Amino acid sequence: MDWGGKLVKVTFNGVELTKWITVLDGFTLLGGADYEPIFQDYETIDGSEYVYSRKKSKKIPVPFYVKYESMDNHDDLQKVLNVSEPKELTFSIAPDRVFYAIPTGNLDFKEIKLNGKGTITFVISDGLAHAKNPKYFEFKKNAQGVLEAEIINNGSAEISVNYRIKLKHESGYIGIVSQYGAMQFGKIEEMDLVEEKKNVLLAANGKGNFNNWTDGTIFYENQNKKVVTKMSADSSFGGRLGLLPANFTNTANGAYFGAVKELKLSEQAKDWYIWARAWFETGLVSQTGAWCLSVVDSDNHLIAGMAIEKSERARNRALVLFLIGDGAGGSRVVKSIEFTPSVWVKDNPYSSEGRDQNRNMFDLRKQGDKVTYFWYGGYHSFLESRIKDKQAAKVQFFVGQYKGGNSSIPSLVTHHYLNDFSFYKLNVPFWRDVPNRYPTGAELFIDATGEINPEEKGRLYVNNLLAPDDEILGTDYFKVPPGKTKVQLLVSSFAEVESARAEIEEAWI
C-alpha cells in the first residue's frame, strides 16, 4: 500500500513484519472507536432510556500480500505473532504512537505456490493508541502565589497524570487539586500534632564512607558468626562496605566466619529507624555467603535485624531473614523470604540492576514493641513485648562464609555490601523543630498510571519507597480530558518546593 508516497511499515513486539509482508489497500488506522451505548427498556414506557456508553476493544485488520521464498518465512512470521500477552504494535504512518495489541483469528490466507493474500487482525484491549514519548508540565507560582501547572492534552482520550515533587524544605502534607478532583497525602495539621517530638539523625554513611565504624570482635546476633578477618569500604559503584581480603580462612572453626564492623551510637534510642541500601548477588550458582545487619542494646542483646544468606551450592536460591531478639540475647527468625540472588531486579531487589535503577534500598523501624521490615514494595510488622523498652546502643554488620566454604571466587558470594546507611532516633521528646513526614530534599512520586507497579495504580512513593498509609480518605486520582487543565499543588504552610512537574502520556481513541 502507498500512503503519502511511502510503504507502510508494521512492527510488532520489536520485529518489523513488513520484511515479509506488504500492506495492501484497505488498511486504515482511522476506524475510530467501537462505541456501545447501553439502554434500559421498561414494559410500561415507550422507547428506551439511555444508561451509559462504553468503548469496546479495537480491532486493526492488516491486509497483506506476501511472496514467501520458503516455508521458513511463514514460520518466522508465525513465531513473531505467537505471543501470550499484548505487545507493542507500531505503524510508520503514526510514528508517535504505539498500540498494545495481540493477534486474533487466522490469516484468512489465499495461497498460490507460497504467494498470496491474507489479513492479520490485531486486538487492542484498551482501544487506545498511546504516545511513545511523555510530556512534562512544570508547576509555577500564579498571581496568588499558588503553585500551578497547565496540562495540555492533545490526545483524544482522557488520561491519568503522574506527579514528581522535590521538597526544598520539609512538609507534612501534599495535595493536588483540579476541577476534576483532588489527591491528598499526609496531614495538614501535622506540625501541631508532633511539635513536642522530633526525629534525630544519629548516623549517616554514604558513598562508601564508613570511617566512624570500627572493627568488631564478636557478632552478638549470633556468636557462631566468628570474626577471623577485617572488612573495608570503598567508593566504587557509588560506595560499599563489606569488602573482604582474599584467602581468609575459618581459623575460629565457626559455623560462619568473616568480619564485623560496628557503629556505637552517640545516643541510645528506644524507637529508631534505619534506611540503607543492600547489594547481595552471586556470580556463580555454587557460591554461598552470609550478610547480616543487627541492632543491639547496651547489654549486647539483639533487638532486631535483617540477614541475607545463601547456603545452597546446587541452586541459586537465597533467603532474606527478618530477625527479632527476646530481650535476653536470643535471636529468632520471624519471617523468611526465598529469592534468586541474580543480577536482575525482577529476581533480586539487591542486585546490580536494582542498584543501577535506584531500587536497592530497604528500611527497618522499631516503635515500642513493634518492628517493621521492608521487602519489594511491601512492609511486614511483628510484635515482641520483650524488646518494647530496649534501647539501641550499637549497630553491627557481618559479612562472611559458611563453615566448609572458603573465600575463593567459586565459593564466596560475589557481592555482599551495605551503603547509604542512615540511623534515626524517633520521637525525641521536648523538641519542637521536628523533621516532618516528608523531609527536606524528599522526592515524592504520585504514580497514577502504575509506572512503578502496573498492578497498583494510584500510589504515593517517597524516596522510592511506597507510602501506603499517607493517602487521605477521599483521594481521587483524577484523569484529565483532551484540552487544557489547570492543576494546583498544595503543601504545608512552612514547606518549600524545589521543583514539581506533571507527566502525561497522551492517548488516542
Give the angle 72-76-82 at the CA atoms, nearest 5°: 140
204-429 CATH: 2.60.120.200
Model pLDDT, residue 52: 86
Q: In this structure, which topology does domain 2-131 adopt according to CATH?
A: Elongation Factor Tu (Ef-tu); domain 3 (2.40.30)
**HEC secondary structure over 121-149:** EEEEEEEEEEECCCEEEECEECCCCCEEE
Model pLDDT, residue 486: 97
Enter the C-alpha cell of residue 174: 501534599
Enter the C-alpha cell of residue 239: 560506595
Domain ranges of the chain: 2-131, 135-193+436-508, 204-429
Among residues 464, 460, 465, 507, which one has the least CA distance to residue 482? 507
Model pLDDT, residue 396: 99
C-alpha distances in Å from residue 239, one per residue of 183, 276, 336, 420: 37, 12, 27, 8
Model pLDDT, residue 430: 47
Model pLDDT, residue 429: 66
Model pLDDT, residue 431: 46
Query: Where is 103: in which H helix or E strand?
Result: strand 97-104
d(CA 407, CA 307): 19
Model pLDDT, residue 193: 46
Contact present, 98 and 90 (Cβ < 8 Å): yes
Q: Does 135-193+436-508 match 204-429 in CATH topology?
A: yes
User: pLDDT 10s per residue in the chain (509 long)?
Assistant: 445 556 899 999 999 999 999 999 989 998 888 888 898 998 888 889 988 888 899 999 999 999 888 889 889 999 999 999 999 999 999 999 999 999 999 988 898 877 899 999 999 999 999 999 999 999 999 999 999 999 999 999 999 999 999 999 999 999 999 999 999 999 887 653 445 567 899 999 999 999 999 999 999 999 999 999 999 999 999 999 999 999 999 999 999 999 999 999 999 999 999 999 999 999 999 999 999 999 999 999 999 999 999 999 999 999 999 999 999 999 999 999 999 999 999 999 999 999 999 999 999 999 999 999 999 889 999 999 999 999 999 999 999 999 999 999 999 999 999 999 999 999 876 445 566 889 999 999 999 999 999 888 999 999 999 998 999 999 999 999 999 999 999 999 889 999 999 999 999 99
pLDDT in tens, 81-122: 999 999 999 999 999 999 999 999 998 889 887 789 999 999
Query: Where is 192: in which H helix or E strand?
Result: helix 190-193
Model pLDDT, residue 35: 86
Model pLDDT, residue 374: 95
CATH of 135-193+436-508 among 2.60.40, 2.60.120, 2.30.30, 1.10.490: 2.60.120
* 452 Cβ contact list (under 8 Å, min separation 6): 377, 445, 459, 461
Which residues in 192-221 are b (16+ Cβ under 10 Å) and which e?
eebeeebbbebbebeebebeebeebeebbb
* 109 Cβ contact list (under 8 Å, min separation 6): 116, 117, 118
Cα-Cα-Cα-Cα dihedral of 398, 401, 403, 407, to 10°?
Answer: -140
d(CA 507, CA 509): 7
CB atoms within 10 A of CB 315: 10
